[in-house]
Structure 1
Amino acid sequence: MRGIYISARMRAVDFSAPSRLVQRAPRQILAGVCCVFTFGAAHAACPPSAIASLEKPGIGLRNGVDRGMLWRIERDGRTSWLYGTLHVGRGDWVRPGPTIQKALTQSDLLALELDSRDEATARTMAQPADPALVARVLSGERARRLERQNAEACVPPGTTSKLQPILQVTALAGLAGRADGLYPEFGVDETLAVSARNSSKPIVALENAADQLRVLTGESEDEEGQQIDAALDELESGKLRGQLKELADVWARSDAARLARYADWCDCLNTPAEQRLLKRLLDDRNPGLADGIERLHASGKGVFAAVGALHMIGPQGLPTLMASRGFTVTPVLTSAQEQTAVPMPALAAPSPAPRARGGKAVKGQRVQKGQKGAPAAAAKGGRPAAAAKAAPAAKGAKAPAKSAGKAPAKAPAAKGKVSR
């Protein structure tokens, strides 16, 4: 199990959202990490809690900027969206960017891998594991290594000890990015869910917790143990932290090209076991995710489907799968970009547009439709009208109506293909 798979694993163990983001989340699934963050905040050697991290200089309420990867998908006269997310985030990523917010607002529902507030999901993930199984999988040196990593992460003894062994180490993996300001509490999926709930938009889960848990545990106790060992190796070496930071940086600048080559830089496909895990976490799940998105779209709904960004890449990625099902797929946010959020400005009443003498618009000022002093209408076909001086109209003749020319519409992408 590799750190780069955090986007798939973290969603399965969402113990952690602070009260501001998941106020109604079941107590049993929050108890473990609530204790972790309270403990961490009390000791200088521990990373600050997610809420405490917001008090750092430069972190606060800011204008949202567009991050992540977004595709528009169209079929049957309706528009839906594919949004590649990250299941951890920074405090200043909480507010969605304008393009993301507009697409979400225009959609009828938000589709996520799992809905963390669903009671059945919470019960499944918090279900105590068979004590005998835990004793078999977490024994000897493996158990001692896990205990040391819990101590280093400021997790009180026994906090996660009753959970499925793979979930115990997954919870630790989710804490590896705190030193770099990355917290599960600020995961992009969760912040989108908050935005959707604030606008009374329905949330639909594309998967269920039991299936995700089966994907994580593997086909045998031995395989689960191997995944735990690999994760502990990465935690002990600091490699997991580096992988998570790299993935977060790629996601934040919408660098889809870099993400598509992640197998070249993740150092996570070195053994047959790692290759099987990747296939199980991504390729094997993607058809089911595509089925759910297609079914919701076919029901007459505009869908904003937000799933881990790694589900978007490769020949089995969701954009390719949706194109094969007859959707027109158009990239919207996929080019690497550097963006900086700025503090929210104080609200002020809009100032009237400046006017030149005689009622004409000031040079450079955009003229509204029907505004006095507007320039001559564009010529037929959307091209600018000639600058020749018009002859005066005959006395009593009716002046010709002015009409604003429109730029020719861009040809739509071919149906069933991914537009580049």
Structure 2
Amino acid sequence: MPSARAAIQFVAICTLGWLFSGAVASAADGTAGACPPAAQPLNEPLFQAAAAQAQDRGLLWRISKGGHSSYLYGTLHVGRAAWMAPGPLLRDALQATDTLALELDPLNPDMQREMAAGLAQMKLRPLTAALRARLLRQLQAQCLPTQDVDKVPAEMQLITLSALVGRRDGLDPTYGSEVLLSVVARSMARTVVSLETVQEQMHALLARNAAEANTVVREGLDDLETDRLRQMLLRTVDVWDTADFDVLSRYNEWCQCADTPSEKEQMRRLLDDRNPGLAQRVDALHTSGKKLLVAVGSLHMAGPQGLPALLATRGYLVERLR
């Protein structure tokens, strides 16, 4: 059975809207021929090639209230280079709005500085020697720097590894939905805002004590070492790519991340506890007159505590577009 840590790893793939600290590939700590392929830098030829084959992916809703409309878009934190252009429906939503609202804007330098400062101030939970050695091996296997292994919370390093596990399959955070939308919105002179703070997201992610941190890291490494996490990633990407909202809404039946009481508690903390605040901030921005494209992790859209349902209770007309 997958670990309790699978809950956070699954949400890292589907939900988190920021670029992970230290997630820059480097061959310095790995064997050159064994390193995952590095992401192609974002450049004009890449975007032009993607635009030539652009199609809609992910989940899209229109929400209307007070005489104007905004949009909800369910994102995926990883993607392929060929996906770095919005499809027709998403492009129309961008054209119809004036503000992009993300969980956290990955291209905002203030957010990046805040993340670095927050990690530097975090209380580290010591790992056992055996777990530290396993974590080092995984960092080396992904050709990631290891010099900060004792300076950054281990659970954050595990999340970084989780986000990068698909690179050999062509899936990379560099091509994630939030990066694409932040780049495109800026090119269209749109305002980009963050719905959460770095502190709020880190509070949801970090272990509460040393025992929890060691359990989280041990079970997460189990998932990485046995390839379970990679298989879950590939299934999730397929569900998101085809906009199969029914299957996504039943994620607890197949993600193997909400089977035990501890896993369910993690999912509650990462999703249900955050969604009311997200809905309140979206409502405040929309009510102020802004026309929003709200792009947050796809799991924030699912179920009776998902954003479409919560905004419907606030008086919005909610229409599924994809």
Kindly report the root-mean-square deviation, in angstroms, between the aligned alpha carbons of the 2 structures.
Answer: 2.3
Q: Residue 114 of structure 2 aligns to which amino acid in structure 1?
A: T
Q: 1:10 to 1:327 in 2, by over 3 A?
A: closer
Whole-angstrom distance in 2 between the partners of 1:240 and 1:138: 22
Give the counterpart of 2:299 among 310, 317, 330. 310
Whole-angstrom distance in 2 between the partners of 1:223 and 1:8: 23
* CA deviation after TM superposition for structure 1 residue 60, in Å: 4.2
Aligned to 1:11: 17
Give the counterpart of 2:65 among 66, 71, 75. 75
Instruction: Say if 1:7 and 1:309, in contact at 8 Å, map to a contact too.
Output: no
Aligned to 1:359: none
Residue 187 in structure 1 maps to residue 185 in structure 2: no
Q: Show the 5 A alignment for 1:93-108.
A: 93-108=83-98
Q: Show the 5 A alignment for 1:205-220.
A: 205-220=194-209
Instruction: Say if 1:142 and 1:229, in contact at 8 Å, map to a contact too.
Output: yes
What does the per-residue CA deviation read over 1:235-274, in whole Å, with 9 as the maximum and x for residues that have no partner?
0110001111111111011111110111101111222111
Q: 1:195 to 1:270 in 2, by over 3 A?
A: same
Whole-angstrom distance in 1 between the partners of 2:270 and 2:313: 21
Aligned to 2:141: 152
- Secondary structure in 1 aligned to 2:23? helix
Q: Show the 5 A alignment for 1:30-41.
A: 32-34=22-24, 36-37=25-26, 39=28
Aligned to 2:232: 243
Whole-angstrom distance in 1 between the partners of 2:72 and 2:15: 20
Aligned to 1:264: 253
Q: Residue 78 of structure 1 aligns to which amino acid in structure 2?
A: H
Whole-angstrom distance in 2 between the partners of 1:120 and 1:95: 25
Aligned to 1:323: 312
Whole-angstrom distance in 1 between the partners of 2:93 and 2:299: 21
Q: 1:130 to 1:144 in 2, by over 3 A?
A: farther
Instruction: Say if 1:53 and 1:181, in contact at 8 Å, map to a contact too.
Output: no
Q: 1:156 to 1:41 in 2, by over 3 A?
A: closer
* CA deviation after TM superposition for structure 1 residue 130, in Å: 5.8
TM norm structure 1: 0.70
Aligned to 1:177: 166
* CA deviation after TM superposition for structure 1 residue 40, in Å: 8.4
Aligned to 2:102: 112
Residue 87 in structure 1 maps to residue 93 in structure 2: no
What does the per-residue CA deviation read over 1:304-326, in whole Å, with 9 as the maximum and x for residues that have no partner?
00000000001101110010000
Q: Show the 5 A alignment for 1:289-304.
A: 289-304=278-293
Q: Residue 75 of structure 1 aligns to which amino acid in structure 2?
A: K
* CA deviation after TM superposition for structure 1 residue 139, in Å: 2.8
Instruction: Say if 2:30 and 2:141, in contact at 8 Å, map to a contact too.
Output: no
Instruction: Say if 1:41 and 1:47, in contact at 8 Å, map to a contact too.
Output: no
Whole-angstrom distance in 2 between the partners of 1:231 and 1:60: 36
Larger Rg: 1
Whole-angstrom distance in 1 between the partners of 2:42 and 2:71: 32
* CA deviation after TM superposition for structure 1 residue 164, in Å: 2.2
Whole-angstrom distance in 2 between the partners of 1:117 and 1:290: 23
Whole-angstrom distance in 1 between the partners of 2:264 and 2:156: 20
Unaligned runs of 5+ in 1: 16-28, 334-420
- Secondary structure in 2 aligned to 1:268? coil
The structure with the greater share of residues assigned to helix is 2
Whole-angstrom distance in 2 between the partners of 1:144 and 1:53: 34
Q: 1:170 to 1:297 in 2, by over 3 A?
A: same
Q: Residue 13 of structure 2 aligns to which amino acid in structure 1?
A: S
Q: 1:181 to 1:326 in 2, by over 3 A?
A: same
Q: Residue 110 of structure 1 aligns to which amino acid in structure 2?
A: L
Instruction: Say if 2:103 and 2:194, in contact at 8 Å, map to a contact too.
Output: yes
- Secondary structure in 2 aligned to 1:305? strand
Whole-angstrom distance in 1 between the partners of 2:62 and 2:26: 38
* CA deviation after TM superposition for structure 1 residue 122, in Å: 1.4
